[in-house]
Amino acid sequence: MARLGVWMAVMVLTMAAATVAWSGDPQVPCFFIFGDSLVDNGNNNNLLTLARANYAPYGIDFPQGASGRFNNGRTVVDILAQLLGFRGYIPPREGTRGTAILRGLNFASGAAGIRDETGNNLGDHFSMVEQVEHFRTTAQQMARMFRGNRTALFGYLNRCIFAVGMGSNDYLNNYFMPSMYSTSYDYNPKTYAALLIQDYERQLTALYDLGARKVAIVGVGQIGCIPYELARYNSRANGSRCNERINKAIDLYNAGLLRLVESFNNELPDAKFVFVNTYESSKDLTNNAAAYGFEVIDKGCCGVGRNNGQITCLPFQQPCEDRSKYLFWDAFHPTEAANLVYARKAYASTSTADVYPMNIQQLAMA
Ligand SMILES: *[C@@H]1O[C@H](CO)[C@@H](O)[C@H](O)[C@H]1NC(C)=O
Ligand SMILES: *[C@@H]1O[C@H](CO)[C@@H](O)[C@H](O)[C@H]1NC(C)=O
């Protein structure tokens, strides 16, 4: 039975390769996702961690309810998968077996970061290093489905899109948590950003070596402006809406990321890396919130304490009535409505301030 499944998968692949994409086909054969709670879709559900979202009211606007996604509905990668023409979402790595992996997997894990220790204050998770190892295993499983033909496997993987979004937790649940982590004593914002980029370069190079060529690197947004930070620092009293110390540190990291994307494109054969400038998008969303239909930008739709930002959304807590008016679902995560704006910019924006040097739609065709 398993043999038959594999044989059929090979047949389908051969046919797909031989045919010009018919309507209804996704624009790329597969989509792999690496990241943190912004894109996790259930990989943490069976881990011992506070970074879990498989309870109501998370998923209140998602057809299957609380799946482990950290907002009320779809994540940015769910929406990107739809825009890329996939039927259904890319499944979480945890619990997905067999030929389903040929379409792609989501390896993301809430609380994960570039650095291994990042997020340990919340409990178990899969760090970026572990996510890359999980992909290595997946690629080995795929190789068997391609009868060990590495050329064929690489030809296939080379056409897939890899989305990687890391770094938020390396700041939120590491550098700016000095009671738990020593990094802010050991590094200044500039040397810390350089350290992260250096580690990230190694991890992304490993993905390239495993066959990734079309890679969308997602930068970190204005996390100095999320309800959690607004609640912690009460920056309103300061005349500023956001914690500028955090935003400045993120600026340094994102600038390093942009340079990294350029150097990959210049130095690795056939590399097509794209920088998704979430910082720019989140700034636009905040500054032009009303034009996008948002009314509440400094407060989570669900949460506890000041700005609904002191504790995350608790089980069975009553969320706000109209989720489409809120930028943030909880202390940390955007609503589905905000994710729609982020995803559409990443997919279709013609401004290199949003996506550089091309958008995801162009990346799919490249
Ligand atoms: C491996 O795959 C490539 C590309 O699809 C094909 O040209 C080649 O004949 C295959 N090699 C073997 C040994 O099947
Ligand atoms: C408050 O303002 C001071 C002085 O401009 C600045 O150094 C500090 O970072 C601000 N605090 C926050 C939380 O933004």
pLDDT at position 4 over 50: no
Domains recognised in the chain with CATH numbers = 2-365 (3.40.50.1110)
Ligand 1 midpoint to CA 149 (Å): 6
Ligand 2 midpoint to CA 192 (Å): 20
Could you tell me the pLDDT band of residue 237, with boundaries at 50, 70 and 90?
low
* Ligand 1 pocket, residue 155 CB under 6 Å: yes
pLDDT in tens, 261-277: 999 999 999 999 999 99
pLDDT in tens, 141-167: 999 999 999 999 999 999 999 999 999
Could you tell me the pLDDT band of residue 11, with boundaries at 50, 70 and 90?
very low
* Ligand 1 pocket, residue 143 CB under 6 Å: no
pTM score of the predicted model: 0.90
| Nearest protein CA to atom 4 of ligand 1, as residue | 152
Mean pLDDT, the chain, rounded, equals 92
304 CB-contact burial (10 Å; exposed 0-12 / middle 13-18 / buried 19+)? middle
**49, β-bridge pairs:** 123
Mean local confidence (pLDDT), 278-301:
94
Mode of pairing for the β-strands spanning 355-356 and 272-276: antiparallel
Mean local confidence (pLDDT), 62-87:
97
* Ligand 1 pocket, residue 152 CB under 6 Å: yes
| Nearest protein CA to atom 13 of ligand 2, as residue | 243
Which pLDDT score, from 0 to 100, does residue 23 have? 55
CA dihedral of residues 349, 84, 77, 109 (deg, nearest 10): -130
Active site residues: 37, 330, 333
Which pLDDT score, from 0 to 100, does residue 295 have? 95
Could you tell me the pLDDT band of residue 307, with boundaries at 50, 70 and 90?
confident
Mean local confidence (pLDDT), 231-249:
76
Residue whose C-alpha is closest to residue 312's, from 87, 156, 122: 122
Which pLDDT score, from 0 to 100, does residue 242 have? 87
Percentage helix, strand, coil for the chain under 3-state DSSP, each rounded to 5: 45, 10, 45
Which one is predicted more confidently, 17 or 202? 202
Q: Give the Cα separation of 130 and 133 in Å (integer).
A: 5
